[in-house]
Amino acid sequence: MDNESMYSSYSYKSSHSRSSRKHRRDRHYSKSRDGASRGDKSVIIQAPGEPLLDAESTMADERDDNWAETTTVVTGTSVDSVSNEDLTRLSKDLDDSLPVDCRRYISPVFGAILGLFSVITPLAFLALPQLLWRDTLDPCGTPCEGLYISLAFKILILFISTWALFLRPPRAMLPRFFVFRCLLSVLVFLFVASYWLFYGVRVLEPRETDYRGIVGYAASLVDALLFIQYLALVLLEVRHLQPAFCLKVVRTTDGISRFYNLGHLSIQRAAVCVLDQYYKDFPVYNPALLNLPKSILNKKLSSFKVYNLEEENSTNNSTGQSRAMIAATSRRRDNVHNEFYYEEAEVERRIRKRRARLVVAVEEAFTHIKRHQTEESLASSPKHPREVMDPREAAQAIFAPMARAMQKYLRATRQQCYHSMESIINHLQFCIMHSMTPKAFLERYLSPGPTLQYLDNSRGGQWTLVSEEPVTASLRQGQVFCLKRLDFALVVTVMPLPFLRVGEEFVDPKSHKFVMKLQSETSV
């Protein structure tokens, strides 16, 4: 990718990812930089999954520029002071020291530690007086036991819901930290810290004897933790469920577009949602399909090439000549698009012919094979011992007659790079095992499937998010951002969903009456 743009790109400075003052700083920085020109900010999203056609791996370069969720994010403005560049260099050293895979798990580990700490706290509150000054404690009978039971259940519920909500493996590695999650972690941390402070000053030091009060205090902590978890649920999971924006995603190479409804998300989270849908909805990117057939291309290119050369070389007084050249090329172009039309029709006809041959070949091949019922063997065993095969052998047996037709069809539709012979035989074996019809077997080859079908998960799905606004800003109308890959990009435009005014009209079921409306007039 474009390394230079990383260094000169604008980004945000914040001291540590857990700072709750980030929002105020965001606004401050955006105001201060309005005068200067804004470049595109490029940051990287890594999603688990595989790029299908990564020709060369530039991942080594990108890892150096990759900013994980919780590391320092630093400004690099070449216009302003020098100290910022020093900080950039500092953070680069920091990044280099951490190996890549760790970065994926830093944030869940931090979260787990914080969660464990906050759950152990009420138990510690209860246990410490018992351990340290058991003798001087007031005896506390039934009310305490009631509180113990409620405490136990609340902690159990906390555990279960934390496991369900937060202890999931992260699906994507985002360039900037997740604002809400950091906010909540800070909140929990401050909360627990303040409770400990109070506990230390008021209970541990004077050796408070009112044990029931202490148990009540611990119970209130657990209640508050449950409420914080409710807040987390709403902020992280529920708030963005109501759709508010429609995102139009267009692939730059072949113009395939889709529309998705999303709620109020930040740009980076919206990018993750879009990419999730991309792997499922978009047909796989086939670079071979972009080029026009060579015969057309040469003719087109030659006419355009002449045009372009004239444009480049002409300075001022060749306008007359270039006009004549334009007229000539336009006349030639008119003929060329005619040829293009016929050539395209010819290609389509060829594809249809090959497809017909393929379908017939596959159907015939499938008739050679039949599922072997075990009862039959008893009836027909001695006279006609049929060879019993497992699916793999059956697939190999019937692959031969259809191989040629398949190969010609794949070549006609330029899909041959996606399907090796091995993969075809595997798929055939799979279909035979599940008693699929020839049509079901062919479904995979007759239409280009979604990208997910061709993914093998050896490397991560690497995308670069290019946006003019900071990627933690929430979606707004008219925003445009790009998700770049090596050879193509997805351009995403944000449109708000319209406000719906739904009125009401009552229709009396008895009001449905009809009359004949025939009125013909014939002239005789």
Partner 1 sequence: MSFIPGQPVTAVVQRIEIQKLRQGGNLILGFSIGGGIDQDPGQNPFSEDKSDKGIYVTRISPGGPAEVAGLRMGDKIMQVNGWDMTMVTHDQARKKLTREKEDVVRLLITRKSLEEVVSQSKGRNPRP
Span from 106-114, 135-143, 217-225, 510-518 in contact with partner 1 (CB under 8 A): 510-518
User: Do residues 270 and 475 touch, judged by C-beta distance below 8 A?
Assistant: yes
513 part of the interface to partner 1, by CB under 8 A? no
Residue among 497, 481, 490, 464 nearest 257 (CA) = 490
Residue among 327, 332, 324 nearest 303 (CA) = 332
Q: Which of 56, 504, 508, 521 binds partner 1 (CB under 8 A)?
A: 521
Span from 424-432, 454-462, 472-480, 512-520 in contact with partner 1 (CB under 8 A): 512-520
Q: What is the DSSP letter of 317?
A: T
517 part of the interface to partner 1, by CB under 8 A? yes
Q: State whether residue 173 is helix, strand or coil.
A: strand
Give 499 or 514: the residue with its C-beta nearer to partner 1. 514
- Return the amino acid letter for 368: H
Give 241 or 516: the residue with its C-beta nearer to partner 1. 516
Give 435 or 522: the residue with its C-beta nearer to partner 1. 522
For the bound state, the minimum distance from the C-beta of residue 514 to partner 1, rounded and expressed in Å, comes to 12
For the bound state, the minimum distance from the C-beta of residue 519 to partner 1, rounded and expressed in Å, comes to 5
Query: Torsions phi, psi of 249, nearest 5?
Result: -115, 120
Give 505 or 521: the residue with its C-beta nearer to partner 1. 521
Query: Torsions phi, psi of 201, nearest 5?
Result: -75, -40
User: Do residues 258 and 276 touch, judged by C-beta distance below 8 A?
Assistant: no
What gap in Å lies between CA 366 and CA 380, rounded to an integer?
22
- Return the amino acid letter for 414: R
Span from 30-38, 54-62, 64-72, 509-517 in contact with partner 1 (CB under 8 A): 509-517
293-332 mask for partner 1 (x: CB under 8 A)?
----------------------------------------
Span from 252-260, 347-355, 380-388, 511-519 in contact with partner 1 (CB under 8 A): 511-519
514 part of the interface to partner 1, by CB under 8 A? no
What gap in Å lies between CA 343 and CA 135, rounded to an integer?
97
522 part of the interface to partner 1, by CB under 8 A? yes
Number of residues interacting with partner 1: please give it, by CB under 8 A: 10
Span from 45-53, 157-165, 256-264, 514-522 in contact with partner 1 (CB under 8 A): 514-522
| Burial of residue 492, with CB atoms counted within 10 A of its CB: 0-12 exposed, 13-18 middle, 19 or more buried | buried
Give 378 or 516: the residue with its C-beta nearer to partner 1. 516
User: Do residues 471 and 465 touch, judged by C-beta distance below 8 A?
Assistant: yes
Give 60 or 524: the residue with its C-beta nearer to partner 1. 524
What gap in Å lies between CA 401 and CA 438, rounded to an integer?
14
What gap in Å lies between CA 344 and CA 355, rounded to an integer?
16
374 part of the interface to partner 1, by CB under 8 A? no
378 part of the interface to partner 1, by CB under 8 A? no
- Which spans of this chain sit near partner 1 (rule: CB under 8 A)? 515-524
